[in-house]
Amino acid sequence: MSELTTIARPYAKAAFELAVEKGAVESWNEMLFFAGQVASNEQAAAVLAGLPTASEQADVFIKICAEQLNEYGQNLVKVMAENKRLVALPEVATLFAEFKADFDKEIDVNVVSATELTASKQESLVAALEKRFARKVKLNCSVDAAVVGGLIIKAGDTVIDGSIRGKLNRLAVTLQS
């Protein structure tokens, strides 16, 4: 997967820079998401793999996507097909979405709790996390009884384990050392 990320990064970065320049970040995000879905579809991949030339692959891919791709999106598909990189389109879409979130100063935060969080608790948690990360927070809540109590918060590479189970585990490690 990291090889695809390495291949996809320059394409995603170039697409993002063009989207910012044209003021069309949201439409590019939708366009690349759709193209990524088409590229990851097994039937579409089988059809594309059976075509002998890059220009035929690009033409068929563009026909499959139809009106979902604007002229710049079509050019991206043609360049990626010429370089035999269409397989990396789903990763390009993922990286573009990450660039967009960073540009929008947004962060996805996953919160795991022992019980369902009320709306007021979610609002206060969002306010605290927005202050902590200096970004707009998109909260994804889930419930796991194994947490016992408290919260486990995951935002990118940051993990805040405020669960009772986590505190007990840290206490046990401290007592053993």
The answer on 136 and 168 residing in a single domain is yes
pLDDT of residue 17: 93
Domain count, the chain: 2
- Work out the widest C-alpha separation in the chain, in whole angstroms: 66
Instruction: Spell out the per-residue pLDDT of the chain, length 177, in tens.
Output: 468 888 999 999 999 999 999 888 999 999 999 999 998 888 888 888 888 888 898 899 889 888 888 999 999 999 998 998 888 999 999 999 989 988 888 888 999 998 999 999 999 999 999 998 888 898 999 999 888 888 999 988 889 998 888 888 899 999 998
pLDDT of residue 2: 67
Other CB atoms within 10 A of residue 101 CB:
17
pLDDT of residue 46: 86
Which CATH number goes with the domain that contains 8? 1.10.520.20
Residue found under tokens 């609002």: 123
The answer on 83 and 8 residing in a single domain is yes
pLDDT of residue 103: 86
The answer on 121 and 79 residing in a single domain is no
Radius of gyration of the chain (CA): 21
pLDDT of residue 44: 86
For residue 140, give its domain range: 105-176
The answer on 80 and 42 residing in a single domain is yes
Q: Which of 78, 102, 126 is the last residue of a domain?
A: 102
pLDDT of residue 67: 87
pTM: 0.65
The answer on 169 and 92 residing in a single domain is no
The answer on 86 and 113 residing in a single domain is no
Beta-bridged to residue 112, according to DSSP, are 142, 152
Q: State the Cα–Cα distance between residues 109 and 25, nearest whole angstrom.
A: 22
Structure tokens given for 13:
């970065």
Q: Which of 63, 82, 102 is the last residue of a domain?
A: 102
pLDDT of residue 9: 93
The answer on 57 and 93 residing in a single domain is yes
pLDDT of residue 110: 94
The answer on 60 and 109 residing in a single domain is no
Which CATH number goes with the domain that contains 120? 3.40.30
Of 125, 161, 160, residue with least CA distance to 141: 125
Q: Which of 86, 102, 118 is the last residue of a domain?
A: 102
Strands lying side by side in the sheet with 158-161: 136-143, 106-113, 151-155, 158-161
pLDDT of residue 90: 92
